[in-house]
Amino acid sequence: MQTDHLGRIVVVGTSGAGKTTFARQLAARLGQPYIELDELYWAPGWQPKPAAEFERLVNDAAALPGWVVDGNYGAVRDQLWPRATTIIWLNYPLHTVLWRAFTRTLRRYLKRETLWHGNRESLRRTLSRDSILVWVITTYHRRQRQMAALRAGSDYPHLRWVEFRHPRQAQAWLRQKQRNAER
């Protein structure tokens, strides 16, 4: 089986874009480890892990020869991006990511899904200022500008960028990777 190996891949995009789902699927197709930054960051009770612990966990994971990472944590960008070969930017419209965040949050709440380290979505959290929906709305345009600036900048000239503006593009690309892996 021949794989279309892209090396070390970071999947970025605003909250609700589908980074986790996409990154898991890509890692499976490429036969590479999948690293979820949210899992490394969050402790029980929705408390962030101490910065030094988070950075150590990311550094350990990034030492692997190949991986697919999802997440936008600026605190560890300088640990990941110099080692990465490819950035995949899920650059979807606000209405798409807001709808995805809403349906994901509702599903997690109704099904009582357990997330990282026993954390769960709650109605109280969803309706608070800490809501992921509020977060999507307040950070969307800033994240778009930030990613565009990082792509245009000279800090990481070695990176190959792949940008998808619609989920259909991303899914078509994943299907192509699957076909390549099956050859």
Is it the case that residue 88 has pLDDT exceeding 80? yes
Please indicate, yes or no, if residue 63 is contained in any of the structural domains: yes
Supply the CATH number for residue 155's domain: 3.40.50.300
In this structure, the chain runs to a length of 183
For the segment 147-171, the average pLDDT, to the nearest whole number, is 96
Please indicate, yes or no, if residue 123 is contained in any of the structural domains: no
d(CA 15, CA 37) in angstroms, rounded, equals: 13
Which tokens go with 4? 């279309």
Number of neighbours of residue 167 by Cβ within 10 angstroms: 17
Please indicate, yes or no, if residue 129 is contained in any of the structural domains: no
H/E element holding 155?
Answer: none
Question: What are the phi and psi torsion angles at 162 (to 5°)?
Answer: -125, 120
Is this model's pTM higher than 0.95 or not? no
Please indicate, yes or no, if residue 101 is contained in any of the structural domains: no
Q: What's the pLDDT score for residue 182? A: 72
More confident residue, 4 or 109: 109
Residue 42, domain extent: 8-92+142-182
Please indicate, yes or no, if residue 118 is contained in any of the structural domains: no
Percent of the chain with pLDDT over 70: 96
Q: Got the DSSP string for 58-121? A: HHHHHTSSSEEEE---GGGHHHHTTT-SEEEEE---HHHHHHHHHHHHHHHHHHT---GGG---
Q: What is the CB-side half-sphere exposure of residue 170 using CA atoms within 13 A? A: 23
pLDDT band for position 46 (cuts 50, 70, 90): confident
Please indicate, yes or no, if residue 87 is contained in any of the structural domains: yes
Q: What's the domain count of the chain? A: 1
Please indicate, yes or no, if residue 125 is contained in any of the structural domains: no
Q: Within the chain, how many helices (H) and strands (E) appear?
A: 8, 7
Please indicate, yes or no, if residue 22 is contained in any of the structural domains: yes
Classify 55 as helix, strand or coil: helix
Render pLDDT for 113-145 as a digit per residue (tens, 0 to 9): 888 887 777 777 777 777 888 999 999 999 999
